[in-house]
Structure 1
Amino acid sequence: MNHPTNPRTAVARKRRTARIARCRARGAAAIEMALLLPILVAVALPVVDFARNMQAQMILINVSREGANLASRASLTFPMQTIMSSLTMTTPPLNMTAHGMIYITQIIGNNNCDVNNNNCTGVVVAQYRWTSGNDTSASSKLWNCGSSGTSWATDGTGSCAGLPSPGKTSPQVSLLQGQLSNGQIAYAVEAFYVQQPLIGGLNLGSILKTPALSPNLYAMTVF
């Protein structure tokens, strides 16, 4: 003789079965997350590094632009060190003191001019290095003080000592070659920064490989 099923027992059994199913689903989800999370983090970090490099590059571009503008307008009013230090006040989150460097190079049209004193070759008449920047390995890509009898001054001005007066013996630069008139002055501002990456290149074997981003960032503007 079959006894009728107690409705309460049937409901309790269904609830227990549902709880077991939910627990199993949560357990499976936790295992999947544990397996996928390292891969997701490994993929996300290079993206974050790329975004940080883009941000740092934009900051350097702004520093070089504003620096060239200030150097051309205010170099007779303020020392170059004051101009360069004021530029770095706008660079956070970059730590320019620890990982950056700024050069300001003054160029004048002087050599190899045409008969109308145009299309001259530019020569270096002054160069300044930011004395508070610790990235001393960064060298100017225009011209390096220390050659041809020149050296960095030790008086705190950050200037290059020993440069001759504009003439045939002055260091020539390829920048603006043939674009300056005789006596025309231009200022080139170079900004360097060594970015500190969160992660280098990603190598997951045959699954995924990403190249390491260069940590050496650079920007230059001429005004």
Structure 2
Amino acid sequence: MTHTVALAPLSPTARTTHKRARHHGVTDRAALFDVLRSAKLCHLGVSTDGVPLVLPTAYGFDPEGPDQDGTLYLHGSVASRSLAPDSEICVTVTVLDGLVLARSGFHHSMNYRSAAILGRPRIVTDPDERLGALNLIVDQVVPDRSGHLRASTRKELAATVVLALPLFEASVKARTGGPGDDESDIGVEQVWAGVIPASVQFGEPIRAEDLDADITLPEHVSAMM
């Protein structure tokens, strides 16, 4: 399921070439992998019966996957029309790094890293790739989690569809730094300006009510704190 990946530049197509705010565009493919590693949730954009839908969902990815420039994996119920193959989809991922407070509402912003991946996914049918993809999705939520779980049952696997989306057609944008106030506002308007850093912080794990008292907190869970 792995091969050597040539880190081709991003924006290989007209659809993923930045047209606005180009100064926030990032062409380094490593930046795409950074965004995908840093987030826990993506948004899947699809069109179902002519109606646009954007759905939050878990994902996993393999930078050395079998598709061109790596593979993004999605999963869901076999009955879900939003995961129908052979149609174009768009997956977006955003990591919020800070709130940028300026001296005017116009210049308020956010520091962030974001990615958009477009393409036509395929259904994963190979048993080994399927199992590996589902493990990647679990481990994206909690690293190393899949290695501590029971094996999926045949019934569970039969009820689950796994889609693979190539990481070929993708774009990344990022913003860093402080507010970009107008010179006329700096030193004149008595308004606080700066950045409020943002990050995801996980709290103390809460034991399931039916968990055996002898089962201690595993290292891969405590590492999330």
TM value normalised by structure 1:
0.25
Q: Who wins on radius of gyration, i.e. which is larger?
A: 1
TM value normalised by structure 2:
0.25
Q: Which has the higher helix share?
A: 1
